[in-house]
Amino acid sequence: MLPKTPSFSLAGKSALVTGAGRGIGLAAAASLAQAGAVVTLASRSENELAEASKQIRQEGGKSHYIVLDVTDSHAVNHAVAANGPFHILVNSAGMNRPKPLSDLEDGDINAVFDLNVKAAFYLCRAVSKCMLQAGIPGSIVNISSQMGHVGSPRRTVYCATKHAVEGLTKALAWELGPHGIRVNTLCPTFIETAFTADMFGAPGFREWVTDRIALGRVGRVEEIMGAVVFLASDASALMTGSALMLDGGWTAA
């Protein structure tokens, strides 16, 4: 008898996606809903969340949303306890303030670390605690970056935060593995979103980026969706503590 491909279906699963009002977070939420999960969208922007959740439901998916400041650990704990337990967490909230190190203010450093690192810790802690209490297996997907594996000018803070997320992921994979909870990162290259629009508007920047991507182009949000479902589903059941590169070949150089 031939072996059967593990299922990519997420039917019967519940998922929490942060930064879900737009960009990569919205694409991640849509992909999970399309795979059958009940998805809770979270961010600080209620109008965006309401519209995104509405569109998911109009397409036949199951979606709710919560307005949440993920940098507030008490708010995170309360929201997860009130809405969980979740089988899936996608930590997608993030930011960047690209500047030379000499131009960075303390406020820049604190803001990027608060959202990219501390919030990821808060969400991983709260969601995994509920998973353990409920005795359920699960999958945590931390949206990292190719910049979690390389360096780049004007991105000292961003690279530092994404390297930190990679370390968090590897350590947590060992903590949670015996309980059937997997933890991985997804590492995109530059993706066309509102987040990157200003950067691509700078003269010569797009060319600088595409010269470093083997495929010769930047990514689209749709191109992260299959990878999110893969990491969330049984199709990646043996994968934990790993980084899934969606960098068009950037780190292959």
Per-residue confidence (pLDDT) for residue 196, from 0 to 100: 87
- Report pLDDT digits (tens) over 39-58: 999 999 999 999 999 999 99
Q: Phi/psi at 170 (nearest 5 deg)? A: -65, -45
Of 118, 136, 182, 120, nearest in space to 14 by CA = 136
Question: 85 preceded by cis ω (within 30°)?
Answer: yes
d(C-alpha 11, C-alpha 25), whole Å: 20
The structural domains of the chain, ordered by start, are: 14-248 (3.40.50.720)
DSSP state of 179: G
d(C-alpha 250, C-alpha 84), whole Å: 37
- pLDDT band at residue 167, thresholds of 50, 70 and 90? very high
Per-residue confidence (pLDDT) for residue 68, from 0 to 100: 98
pLDDT at 11 over 90: yes
Higher pLDDT, 194 or 238: 238
- Report pLDDT digits (tens) over 188-235: 999 998 878 888 989 999 999 999 999 999 999 999 999 999 999 999
Active site residues: 158
The model's pTM is: 0.97
- Report pLDDT digits (tens) over 109-124: 999 999 999 999 999 9
Is residue 245 within 8 A of residue 251, CB to CB? The reply is yes
